[in-house]
């Protein structure tokens, strides 16, 4: 009886060993998430040269898109819990607290997408920020803005944002287009009524699951290009998931040296203590602590004051 029990356990273990590795791989997603086909330049189209905008059809596989959305959903929920204390809207809080940034090389799927982005843009991975995942629900939009910075603080780490790769993780039924209102010659882009009204105000790219847009916010000589103004049109029907990847002119991975300084020892936001408790002093040092000559927003809560 006892022997049979042991044999049964052994048999179960053996059967399990065949399954366990698959399940483990499933956990981090490396092998179960089918990758997109290898880089294929005929899938890339230049849609504008002023500013420089390119669209890559099928940059991500459906499975990769779904995987990123799943990762993001976990983080969104975490952010919501933290945010309801402040009473602020989830999206804006998420931005400030960078609650929806994935880690770099977080898992094999994220790693291979980051490698693909580097291969497409010819820009090193270390120049890029962590991938961000955004969700736009009905009516949500992003007013036209520039990805390069006007202030000096944000340029301390990695310099200006040079290029943006915007990946669409879902197909939006209506609205949600990426629109470039300053693109030269946008008026000649043919548009039928499947484009939203907002999209008729500039060169528009429809969000299609798996497609990606690459555009440059600086001219090749490093001067900001105001034609790179862009926004996200309101979502009219469906839900938009997108993943921007911002790439700087220099390495973004080596954080700047932050000098200790007794001046300006104050919090500039009522949320500083909360953000500090969530580890933002370490994760977002330029914003929270500051850099040479540019004190951050939460010096007090980050304990960088001498007294
Ligand atoms: C590259 O993409 C084009 C357009 O989608 C397709 O016709 C072609 O077969 C692809 N080439 C390879 C090698 O996959
Ligand atoms: C915030 O969320 C938590 C967890 O969902 C809940 O227990 C708490 O009551 C919420 N607080 C407020 C002020 O809504």
CA neighbor of 140 nearest in space, from 231, 28, 252, 36: 231
Tokens of 42: 């005929």
For residue 272, being part of any structural domain is answered with yes
For residue 102, being part of any structural domain is answered with yes
276 and 209 in a common domain: no
Q: What percent of the chain has pLDDT over 90?
A: 52
**Residue 101: pLDDT over 60:** yes
pTM of the model: 0.69
Q: Which carries the bigger pLDDT value, residue 307 or residue 48?
A: 48
229 and 184 in a common domain: yes
Residue 265 Cα to ligand 1 middle (Å): 58
pLDDT digits (tens, 9 = 90+) for 40-64: 889 999 999 999 999 999 999 999 9
Q: Ligand 2, closest atom to CA 80?
A: 2
Number of domains comprising the chain: 2
Where do the H-state alpha helices sit in the chain? 2-28, 62-83, 90-97, 108-121, 272-277, 280-283, 285-288
48 and 168 in a common domain: yes
pLDDT digits (tens, 9 = 90+) for 206-231: 999 999 999 999 999 989 999 999 99
Residue 84 Cα to ligand 2 middle (Å): 6
75 and 174 in a common domain: yes
Domain-terminating residue out of 248, 273, 293: 248
Q: What's the domain range around 78?
A: 41-248
265 and 187 in a common domain: no
212 and 134 in a common domain: yes
For residue 166, being part of any structural domain is answered with yes
For residue 15, being part of any structural domain is answered with no
For residue 7, being part of any structural domain is answered with no
Residue 37 Cα to ligand 1 middle (Å): 9
């Amino acid at each position: 009886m006892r022997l049979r029990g042991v044999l049964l356990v052994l048999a179960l273990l053996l059967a399990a060993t065949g399954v366990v590795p698959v399940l483990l791989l499933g956990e981090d997603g490396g092998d179960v998430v089918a990758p997109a086909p290898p880089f294929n330049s005929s899938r890339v189209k230049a849609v504008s040269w002023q500013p420089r905008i390119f669209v890559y059809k099928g940059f991500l596989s459906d499975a990769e898109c779904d995987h990123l959305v799943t990762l993001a959903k976990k983080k969104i929920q975490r952010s919501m819990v933290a945010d309801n204390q402040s009473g602020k809207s989830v999206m804006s809080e998420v931005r400030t607290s960078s609650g929806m940034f994935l880690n770099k090389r977080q898992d094999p799927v994220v790693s291979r997408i980051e490698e693909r982005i580097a291969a497409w843009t010819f820009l090193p991975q270390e120049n890029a920020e962590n991938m961000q995942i955004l969700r736009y629900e009905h009516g949500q939009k992003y007013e036209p803005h520039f990805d390069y910075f006007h202030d000096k603080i944000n340029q301390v780490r990695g310099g200006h944002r040079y290029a943006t790769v915007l990946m669409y993780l879902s197909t939006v039924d209506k609205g949600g287009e990426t629109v470039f209102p300053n693109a030269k010659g946008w008026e000649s882009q043919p548009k039928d009524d499947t484009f939203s009204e907002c999209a008729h105000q500039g060169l528009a790219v429809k969000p299609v699951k798996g497609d990606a847009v690459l555009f440059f916010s600086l001219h090749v000589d490093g001067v900001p290009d105001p034609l790179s103004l862009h926004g996200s049109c309101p979502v009219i029907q469906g839900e938009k998931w997108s993943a921007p990847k911002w790439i700087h002119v220099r390495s973004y991975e080596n954080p700047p040296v932050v000098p200790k300084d007794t001046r300006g020892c104050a919090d500039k936001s009522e949320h500083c203590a909360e953000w500090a408790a969530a580890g933002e002093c370490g994760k977002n040092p330029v914003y929270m602590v500051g850099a040479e000559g540019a004190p951050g927003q939460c010096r007090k809560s980050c304990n960088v004051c001498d007294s």
